[in-house]
Structure 1
């Protein structure tokens, strides 16, 4: 069995024997560690040397899933001095900080002819993972093998079944994983049970019920949408006309555009109330602003800003290559406006590489201070405002020039 690793997590292991013993380590997330082990229940009645021991896994002789595989670096940390051996051919017990663990063999007749040998090997190259993290932000990407078989099948179903009914609405087949899908029996009964459970939950929480009702009412008026090029307008009358034309075209396909917003009162008054954005986001520091995917539009000034999660440079968390990489990955820049600032963080990461620091090694004082100054400077990003309109009309050539004589 082989698998690729896409996620990792910092975990803390607590001993079931000693609650004061805690061990932090990095866990790499995979879909399945191994098959069910042991393959059948083991008879441990004759293993007298194991009776009465506080085991790390009291149900070791029963078939079950393996939730966590400890590497040798963790194994050496939990080992203790105690070892108990039994008769030749029987397993031994090794004392650890997590409890006594069992190792060794079992009689062949316990497994029969269908016994399996399981070998596990985990190899993770964090440098390669980081390289792929940088490459994911480049303009050119390798499109080979980017889709899984199920994703390819879903796309094929879409291409083969896409059609329009007599009202112009689009119809597409459901992307089942096989040509003969096995649908759940009594699906109506299952759905009714879930509905009744939800009704009971909402009956106990009036605020949740009110919010839920508002969302459902909105869904009743909304249709599916498709991306459209954003038009440019010279005045409100042309914007209103374009809105009406766009609504007519999209309605023929069953799409009813909703949540219109503008900094023009004349345009907004020309719309039906139910078609308008309900209410702008209330911000005590801004009069009118609308947020979408991390972008803030200040309608009163017609400016755009990027919301940015502030990094707490006063945190007591140790400053290591691992924590810095996590902080860099959290910088949100959907349109690339903050690239001149974020590139500095990536260049700093290259410095750490040249310094050959380990992932969890504290930074030298000079590098730590340099990173702290960068964190403090990030606070000014929230003050950057970009004018939404460039002041140019259609068929206008624009040239952008940047000064790269000084970087960091």
Structure 2
């Protein structure tokens, strides 16, 4: 392992015509023991390379920067000069001339292999936090397969689910190779607010609209008379008392565009 950090730097071609800003990671030796090769030493060995102006290598032939594939535009070939098959290929890139291929058929070269592994080490607190998140995820995922008694003690399920589970525990029966379980009906009575004033205002507004439409008022009166005859509605005496009272405003719905059911109540 080795220490590394990201840095921002700017690369320029030798003639200064092109520059590019990149982000790189620092290391002691980019390519290990592999050194840079000066193509000017063998340009006369290949006729097609004689007029190529390769950059001169410094006295310290060490690779300082390795440009990766994330900077693909810097590897793009603006022009290429080729020889016969198997000979090196000169390539003009935005940063200048370079060459790819075997530097010389008569040159003895020692094969070199470099292998680099990069590991990103994060803060220990972040790793522990991630482990805790994954642990909680699996605990919630596995909660539905634990025993009923254990599940009831957790805060994962809702209050309504706990009531349903209690109904199952109290009513479950096994007979004739079948399980019978009671339906978890809601036993809480819904308390509706006393909306007498609101319903009275709605009734007054309905009466005003019916006075402006006599045909609708006549049809509406006929429907209410049918409700009384069928026992759907009745007049509530003043001395009849209820623990809770809630009023449902009644009004006609007129649809002139409907031929069969132009009015609904």
Higher RCO, 1 vs 2 (CA within 8 Å, ≥6 residues apart): 2
TM-score (norm 1): 0.27
TM-score (norm 2): 0.39
Computing the radius of gyration from Cα coordinates, the structure with the larger value is 2
